[in-house]
Amino acid sequence: MLRVRFFARIREVVGESQLELPLSAETATLDALQASLGTRGEAWRGALTEANLVRAVNHQVVHGNTPLAEGDEVAFYPPVTGG
């Protein structure tokens, strides 16, 4: 199983804070997982294709596609801004 977590504005838009999904061809990589989640509807697709979306695997921010393994935790959150 993969644990998928959503934070801040993304959590509000998709209406979920966390999901558990089986590892499969649709969830074997970070890009595949993100695309699969986007098929849940327009709100999901919009939230997960937001510019500068931050993605993390096992608490490490990753850039680009990343292979996923059983037990991984994936997180999606908007960019942090400050001033």
Name the more confident of 17 and 79: 17
Residue 21 domain flag: yes
Structural domain total, the chain: 1
Please indicate, yes or no, if residue 82 is contained in any of the structural domains: no
Q: Domain with 59 in it: what CATH number?
A: 3.10.20.30
Does residue 37 lie within any of the structural domains? yes
What pLDDT was estimated at residue 51?
Answer: 85
pLDDT given at position 83: 55
- Domain of residue 14, residue span: 2-77
Residue 83 lies inside a defined structural domain of this protein: no
Using CA atoms, how far residue 31 sits from 6, 7, 27, 65, in Å, is 16, 18, 8, 6
The pLDDT score that the predictor gives to residue 64 is: 86
**51 lies in a domain?**
yes
The answer to whether residue 15 sits within a structural domain is yes
CB 16 within 8 A of CB 6: yes
